[in-house]
Chains A and B, each alone.
Chain A
Amino acid sequence: MHWIFEPGLFSNDSVRTALLLGAMVSVVSATVGVFTVLRGQSFAGHALTDVATAGGAAASLAAVSPLVGFIGGGIVGAGAMDAIGVQRVKGRDIATGVVLGAAMGLTALFLYLVTLQSATTGATQLILFGSVFTVAPSTLPEVAMLSVVVLVGLVLIRRPLLLSSISVELAAARGIRLRATGVAFMVMLAVAVGLSAIVIGSILSTALLIGPPASTLKVASRFMWAVSLACVLGVVATGLGIVLAYDSYYWFPSHRGLPVSFFVVSIVVIEFALASLVGRRKLARAVVVQHDPTKAPEQVGWV
């Protein structure tokens, strides 16, 4: 085990904060992510990360905590996308794309202004690719609180959200307020994106949001099982990513460690590849057992 847990790993303050942060953020991202993938809003999720990036850059300019910027930016973006019609399936990609482009333009402006008026170095790195080892331990309570708020919110709107995610017509027929549900979800999505931005950066936060749920939906056939597995995959990716980044210091004689974000994203991709292999076999079996080509095997027993 020594080669996994290099000396000083657990006594290092940065690592401890990073592991706690990573675990909380992965659980929130994975849970929100399952709904995001089911609703086919992965692209909207990615656009929100770009708006969060602009928020993070603005926060750097205003010298406030990047977390405030990421989440504030995300919520503004969610509002903008709702206003120009991200709920409609038709034209949704266009609305999302417009918001995305505008957000990146603002990011470029803010990051330029940061270089003009502050001595802050590495703002671009911190905002785009994350700096989990440099997060102050005092951020932990804020992250914990936001995580609880999002998870409780999801539990409260779970039924209408799930139904409207799987069939808009069915949900409308049952009297579910689609727009209110959609907006509430977008806000939670914005917070989740903001949280994962402080771990792996805003640009990469889509990986944590979409990756574990996408892997899970290839293999899981029950909703709670899907959410739990996504959480486990997310926590494994961030935890192992952080440990490997710490260890990478000892891999080269120059003692140049590699970035956490690289490891986390790589593990997410490996998980997805493995899940695809397992999922393909399972799908084949399910189709043989059910003999019912009108039902997609993954959807059985979910609502």
Chain B
Amino acid sequence: MVLGNSLVGAGRQSSARFLRRMVLTASALVLTGVTLSGCNSMSASSAGVVRAVGAENEYANVISQIGGKYVDVSAIMSNPNTDPHSFEVSTSVAQSVASAQLIVQNGAGYDSFMEQLESATPSKSRDVLSVQSLLGLSNDPKNPHLWYKPTVMPLVARDVERDLIRLQPRRAKYFQRRLQTFDASMTSLDADISSFRAKFSGVKVATTEPVADYLLAALGLDNATPFRFQADVMNGIDPSPEDIAYQQGLFSHHRVKVFCYNSQVSSPVTSALLSLAEKSGVPVVALYETMPVPGYDYQSWMSAEISALTKAIEHKTSTVRI
């Protein structure tokens, strides 16, 4: 209303006075906005909601599985149609990192922009949980896709629970109960992995990129694609013609039973291999860098991948989209 009045009165006032009034109004509005948003965040944390960030949406999902209604989680990388390896930071990402109380990030060079953002907005009250350091890995593990290790998420969940209890001691019981539920569902995933392994151990598969290599290894599958080729695809450089020819041979000579295709890291090379695999009758299973949303949580995502692999080996059925 103040703004409306000053606009109506503008014609009759001297321009200098009008300008001054506009500036005052604008600053008042800005100040009100700042105070209001300050109130918001303060009331949010006093009501017991922890602001948390998962650098990748699979970690955000685990945070919300443990924190339930007492966390407000945002995920930074969650678009299943883009390549997280070529992610670039926007200001809204910087803002959510700056205001977060709990952050889970992968580390291992996969999301190094997180460390930059965190050091740009230092905060004593922020807990940063890096999965790489949680596992005690070197600075440069060859394969950064740590969330595909079936042993990783229970460790992450345990640490998230510990941090949440520290931030919200009154909700300790609640977080503990949810951690138990999470662990129970992970046990059934482990059982799926063991039975898969018992049936299909040693089956040869081809891959484009190392995204699910940890899971494939846990499942007992034999990845016939040289790591050099996978790393080249991951890093967006051209694999050598020798490696491309070798990979083509895996399909044309039917040396593999399944082609595990990372649908978030594609290039002319991977697309050409995809059509060759289809032509050679090798079933394709789509893999993802980030959790496909909506409709999945971490556990159901992993079991969907495992059942897609099972269908591919048993019935030669492709799953081009899980």
Q: What is A's interface to B at a CB cutoff of 8 Å? A: 8, 12-15, 18, 112, 114-126, 131, 133-136, 246, 249, 254-257, 259
In the complex, which residues of chain B have a beta carbon less than 8 angstroms from the beta carbon of A133? Answer: 238, 240-241, 244
Task: Find the B residue at minimum CB distance from A17.
Answer: B241
Contact (A120, B83) CB under 8 Å given A135-B268, A136-B272, A256-B228: yes
Contact of B228 among A124, A135, A254 (CB under 8 A): A254
B236 touches A246 (CB 8 A): no
| B263 CB within 8 Å of chain A | yes
A21 to chain B, nearest CB (A): 13
Contact (A115, B88) CB under 8 Å given A121-B233, A122-B236, A122-B237: yes
B210 to chain A, nearest CB (A): 13
Q: With contacts A119-B263, A125-B237, A134-B272 known, what are 11 further pairs, Cβ within 8 A?
A: A119-B83, A119-B264, A119-B266, A120-B266, A121-B86, A122-B267, A134-B238, A246-B241, A255-B242, A259-B237, A259-B238
B265 touches A121 (CB 8 A): yes
In the complex, which residues of chain B have a beta carbon less than 8 angstroms from the beta carbon of A246? Answer: 240-242
| B269 CB within 8 Å of chain A | yes
- How many chain B residues touch A (CB < 8 A): the figure is 30
Interface centre among B81, B237, B243, B263 (most CB of A within 10 A): B237
B243 to chain A, nearest CB (A): 8
How many residue pairs, one in A and one in B, have C-beta atoms under 8 Å apart? 92
Task: Find the B residue at minimum CB distance from A257.
Answer: B240
In the complex, which residues of chain B have a beta carbon less than 8 angstroms from the beta carbon of A119? Answer: 81-83, 263-266
B81 touches A257 (CB 8 A): no
| B87 CB within 8 Å of chain A | yes
**Complex: how many Å from CA A15 to CA B269?**
14
Task: Find the A residue at minimum CB distance from B81.
Answer: A119
| B85 CB within 8 Å of chain A | yes
| B245 CB within 8 Å of chain A | yes
Contact (A121, B236) CB under 8 Å given A131-B268, A256-B228: yes
Task: Find the B residue at minimum CB distance from A114.
Answer: B86
In the complex, which residues of chain A have a beta carbon less than 8 angstroms from the beta carbon of B272? Answer: 134, 136
Interface centre among A131, A134, A254, A256 (most CB of B within 10 A): A134
A123 to chain B, nearest CB (A): 8
In the complex, which residues of chain B have a beta carbon less than 8 angstroms from the beta carbon of A123? Answer: 236
B271 to chain A, nearest CB (A): 9
In the complex, which residues of chain A have a beta carbon less than 8 angstroms from the beta carbon of B81? Answer: 117-119
In the complex, which residues of chain B have a beta carbon less than 8 angstroms from the beta carbon of A134? Answer: 238, 244, 267-269, 272
Give a binary string over B221-233; 1 marks a CB under 8 Å from any A CB, 0 the rest.
0000000100001
**Complex: how many Å from CA A190 to CA B237?**
26
**Complex: how many Å from CA A254 to CA B229?**
12
**Complex: how many Å from CA A104 to CA B168?**
50
In the complex, which residues of chain A have a beta carbon less than 8 angstroms from the beta carbon of B241? Answer: 12, 14-15, 18, 133, 246, 249, 257
* Chain B positions 255-280 with a Cβ under 8 Å from a chain A Cβ: 263-269, 272
Task: Find the A residue at minimum CB distance from B244.
Answer: A14
A109 to chain B, nearest CB (A): 12
A125 to chain B, nearest CB (A): 6
B87 to chain A, nearest CB (A): 7
A116 to chain B, nearest CB (A): 6
In the complex, which residues of chain B have a beta carbon less than 8 angstroms from the beta carbon of A112? Answer: 88
**Complex: how many Å from CA A135 to CA B248?**
15
In the complex, which residues of chain B have a beta carbon less than 8 angstroms from the beta carbon of A122? Answer: 235-238, 267
